[in-house]
A = this chain, B = another copy of it.
Amino acid sequence: MSSEPESEVVEKARSARAAAAALASASTAAKDKVLGAIADALGEHAAEILDANAVDVGGARKAGAPAAFVDRLALNERRIGEMTDGLRQVVALPDPVGRVIAGWKRPNGLEIRKVRVPLGVIGIIYESRPNVTVDAAGLCLKAGNAVLLRGGSEAIESNKALVRVIRTAVERAGLPRDAVQLIETTDRAAALQMMKLNGLIAVLIPRGGAGLIRRVIENATVPVIETGVGNCHVYVDRAADLAMAQEIAFNAKCQRPGVCNAMETLLVHQEVAGDFLPAMARRLIEAGVEIRGCERTRKLVPQAKEATEEDWHAEYLSLILAVKVVDSLDDAIAHISKYGTMHSEAIVTTHYAAARRFTEQVDAAAVYVNASTRFTDGYQYGLGAEIGISTQKLHARGPMGLEELTTYKWIVFGEGQIRS
């Protein structure tokens, strides 16, 4: 497999780039037709896809992969149905391409237009989750981009089957099949090569755990959008409605602990810690949450283990929660600034000035007043499907939907103007 990684990666990137030109000028109707055709084809070829997936799942089980890993890898009829539903939802979203973002006429008569256009070729590097293959292809195509996919080695047979079905459907529906490319070489060298294809790949989006994202950031020369790592906090202010605070904190931790917008650390103002923490902790512990607290927390919650410096940094993605009692709003903001990953941060307060200060001073993609951090999501915001949550500041912040998979160009209409 790894005999000629160089030629495969470069060749597929080149043909994706050539296909991107056709995608860029495809009409919304043509792109929607392609997405519908992919959805139909996935349903029709479900058996073939499940067979391929069974090979991957068998391999992973044999290699002793953890149950959660196998669960993310495994497909079934229902999950294929979710993929096709997802594609049809993307069909229903408005096409950002061609939108005139701004435009005006200059005193010399030049007409300036700022127009939304596709990015070109988008590279996606991800782990062994075959649903990403379909989600990413659908979003990239709808936004007029070609996509170069590089998934985890454990999902390679599933991805090959999915991409074979997708490419045939794309071509039958009238766009070039090379708009969707899978790198079949799953060694690190191929991924590394992909990270350095400046001029062929417009942007790389890593989707996966912190290790994968760090590897891409450290090695890529192609622009990267950093997604996903969420060490999110809920801060219960001295002026909080404590019943509301308990609901929000419980929701942020327990409603779906394995996702990036779940709470990982609870910060509680010292003046309300005594009233708030014991009942809060009881409810969390009943739900199976392990609490790791600071010294003051452990006085109020005897079951809490001792939190270490690593706990303040941790993205547990599980039923573990770090809890810290803070002296003030400023302390809470300073803690978030030091340990947060600029993803989603919430304050619970009835105090106008505290809400204002928190939203202004906390530097994160999403800042909440009296709501759960779990809302950071394209659908929850009303934006539709997303390819990830950006935690960097360039280009896109928070949910990355279709618009964030585009760029713009300046088109200037003249009648012979020259510069003096």
Contacts and interface: CB of A to CB of B under 8 A. Distances in A.
Interface of A: 21, 24-25, 104, 106, 110, 112, 117, 119-120, 198, 202-203, 217-218, 221, 223-225, 241, 244, 247-248, 250-252, 255, 337, 355, 359-361, 363-372, 374-376, 380-382, 392-395, 397-398, 407-420
B218 A419 contact: no
A135 B398 CA distance: 31
A411 B359 contact: yes
Contact of A370 (B359, B366, B415): B415
A106 B419 CA distance: 48
A398 B382 contact: no
B413 A369 contact: yes
8 contacts: A110-B375, A112-B381, A241-B416, A247-B416, A355-B413, A371-B412, A371-B414, A372-B418
A408 B397 contact: yes
A398 B337 CA distance: 32
Given A382-B104, A407-B394, A413 B110 contact: no
Where chain A touches its partner, the secondary structure class is mixed
Given A221-B218, A418-B251, A394 B361 contact: no
A223 B223 contact: yes
A394 B120 CA distance: 11
B407 A397 contact: yes
Contacts of A218: 221
A394 B112 contact: no
Given A217-B221, A223-B394, A393-B120, A380 B413 contact: no
A30 to B, nearest CB: 14
A106 B381 contact: yes
A315 to B, nearest CB: 15
Nearest to A226: B223
Contact of A395 (B106, B380, B394, B419): B394
Given A119-B393, A367-B412, A372-B419, 9 more contacts: A21-B361, A110-B371, A251-B418, A251-B419, A368-B414, A376-B410, A394-B394, A395-B395, A397-B408
A125 to B, nearest CB: 16
Contacts of A413: 355, 369-371
Contacts of A375: 110, 412, 417, 419
Contact of A394 (B225, B252, B414): B225
Contacts of A363: 21, 24, 117, 120, 409
B368 A412 contact: yes
Contacts of A370: 413-417
B410 A397 contact: yes
Contacts of A117: 363
B418 A398 contact: no
A20 to B, nearest CB: 9
A257 B252 CA distance: 58
A363 B146 CA distance: 14
A414 B367 CA distance: 11
A198 B217 contact: yes
Given A376-B410, A397-B409, A410-B398, A106 B382 contact: yes
Contacts of A393: 119-120, 202-203, 223, 407
Contact of A255 (B120, B248, B412, B418): B418
A214 to B, nearest CB: 9
Contacts of A410: 365-367, 376, 381, 397-398
